[in-house]
Each structure stands twice: as C-alpha cells, then as structure tokens.
Amino acid sequence: MKDVFLKPGKERSLLRRHPWIFSGAVGRAEAADDGETVRILSSRGEFLALGCRSNSSAIALRVWSFDENETIDGSFFKRRIDAAYALRQRIFNGALPEAFRLVYAESDGLPGVIADIYAGLAVIQLSTAGADRFREEIAKALLPYAPRGVYERSDVDGRKRENLPPVTGGLRGEELPEKIDFNENGLRFQCDFRQGHKTGFYLDQRLNRAVVAAETPANAEVLNCFCYTGGFGLAALRGGAKTVVNVDSSEQALAQAKVHAKLNGFSEEQFKTECADVFQYLRSCRDAGKSFDMIVLDPPKFADTVARREKAARGYKDLNLLAMKLLRPGGKLFTFSCSGAMDDDLFGKVIAAAALDAKADFRIVQKLMQGPDHPASAAFPEGHYLKGIYGIKC
C-alpha cells in the first residue's frame, strides 16, 4: 500500500476525525492511481488513516477508515452498509419508510457513496474515484436491502472534478420498469430513477413536506415555487389547501407533477402548474397585485463553493423579498436553501434582510433541515446542507 505524508501540522483535521484532506496539505507522497487506497501519515510518519487518493480533485484524500488494521474490500463495504441500515432502523424505530436514504456518503463512513431505497430498489451515486473503484463491491453489499435490484445514477457534476465520466444503468436485479411507485406521508409518488434529479426524488424533504401539510391553513391559496414534481404542492392540498399553483422551469418535471396530482385524486382546478422562471413569475404576480396565504420556496443549489456564497446570498434575498411581498397578512412562508456553502447563520441573516426590505414583520416559527435518514456526522459539518425556515408575516 502506498504512503502519503502530510505537511507538518496538517494532521489536525484528521485528529478531529474529519474525512477530507485537501491537496495543499499533502507533502511527500508515493505515486498512486485515482481511487487507490493509501495510508495517510503525519509528517513524522505516524499513522492517521486509510483513504482513497484523487489526483484531480482539490480534495486529494478521503478517509475510508481510521483503523490501521482495516482492509478496504468487499467485506468493509458490507460492514459499513449493514451499519448504515441498522442506524436507519433505530432512527425510524423499525418502521422504515418505503423510500429512504440508506447510505449518506461521509456521514456513513463511505465518501462519495449515496444509496437511496425506493420500494426495494437501490439507486446509487458514486461521485469519487474511490467509490467508483469499488462499484461492484458496493452493489453486492446493497442487495440484501434492495431485492428489486441496484441502479446507478453516477451522472453528477462532482464526478467531473474527479476526472470521471458519467455512468448510468442497472447493476443488479430484475428488469426494471421506467419508474418506481412508492408512498410517502399518505401520498403516492413515482420515482423517475432513470432521468429525475438526484436519484429520482428529493427524499431529504420528507419531514418538511409533512410539516407543510400540517401547517397549511384550511382553504388556503398556495404558491409552490421550484416545485419539481409537486411534492410540497400535494402536501399542501392534503393539508386542506383550496388551490396550489406549482411553478417550475421544467416541462418534464411539471408533467410528472400532474401525474402525481392525478394519482392522489386532485383535480386540475386544485393543482395548477405554470412553466416559468420563478423570479420572473414572482415579479409578474407582484405587478398584477396577486397574493397568497402560503408560499413554498425550494430552489436549486445557488452556491456549491464559498467563493460563490455572496452572489448566492443576493439571489436568496431577492427571492424571499419577492415572496414576502406576495404573502397576505398572517401568510406562511416555507423557504429553503440546499447550498452547502450557505450556513444557518448566513441564511437567517438573508431572510432577515429580505423581511426588512419588504417592510414585513416576519416571525420565525420553526427552523427546518434534512430528514433523519440524512444524519450528519458531528465530525463532518458539511453533511448538514439543507436549511429551512418556516415563518409567518404578521
């Protein structure tokens, strides 16, 4: 096994059990292939961890294990995936949802590995050279929890930073249908695991959709922005909304949203769709004097690096400012950021600035985050990426 020596003092993050080492922290290193398992040593030669090497990414090393006696092989991945499943069993008290995240990358000790379960089908994303190298071992370890098979959706942007091509297709199991049906919070959905965003559905918002359903005022007029396939809109209707306008720039997503509405017995009068740029749509509503009882803002990632955080903050502020102007007195706002570079404190300041400019007395009722099947390791704060605020315009 090859050795990688860190520069003096650069072992501190590993001693805190953070799983990343950036290229600038690497000192002397034996040549290793992308994804190859290496020993990570201090500048004095003390063992720190076993990790996978990347020669292309700014993150040069990702930790597999802090145990020097560990062997990174099929048995290792089976142990880690078994442990991840046992944790979800504890989280849900043995009553697992039909669709849930089984493996959450670094937070489950498997950097670059995402595995979501949809009614017995595992959909995986392998975003690093190390994960890519162990594709077959990972697929085999998932089979006990995925009787319908394993499908790969490794077509994420992160692979470009690892100099990896996109990879999609079936890895294990029976011939699969085009989409997988599943239930969530009493609603029926379809996972487009072949072409949908992420692994086909936004599982991280499950509990927040339940909160929206519980907090929707009776007979409310609701605006659901960046609706994707309509999850929050359906939750609002289930909670008693009169109508929901669902806005997204993707015709394909809106077509699936309409399918979801029909599956759950909601009419076109109740579940309306608009294909538009959300910012432009909000401005057109403002100019037309429209207003709503509740608005949901669930935009895509505005910033994936700290360097882009300032620009992202301006985008979030403009978005929330427009929404607050459209809320009726007593109206409810559910607003989210999935940008890892936006921490909770900054997101809160952005919302406060938007309320100030909107001349709105906005009260924060509840802070929201990703679901419990996306548990963030205390040693890896980057795992906490989804921030949400539920507030009321007084």
Which three-class secondary structure state does DSSP give residue 39?
A: strand
DSSP conformation class of 57: S
* CA pair distance 201, 195, nearest whole angstrom: 10
Q: How many CB atoms lie within 10 A of CB 216?
A: 25
Alpha-carbon Rg for the chain in angstroms: 22
Closest CA to 83 of 115, 38, 46, 125: 115
Q: How many CB atoms lie within 10 A of CB 45?
A: 8
* CA pair distance 32, 196, nearest whole angstrom: 35
* CA pair distance 315, 324, nearest whole angstrom: 14
338 is known as an active-site residue: yes
Across the beta sheet with 243-248, the strand order is 271-275, 243-248, 221-225, 292-297, 327-337, 387-393, 362-369
* CA pair distance 97, 120, nearest whole angstrom: 11
Across the beta sheet with 20-22, the strand order is 20-22, 59-65, 47-53, 37-41, 2-6, 26-29
* CA pair distance 125, 133, nearest whole angstrom: 13
Catalytic residue (choose from 191, 225, 338, 394) = 338
Q: At residue 254, what is the residue type?
A: L
Write out the catalytic residue numbers: 338
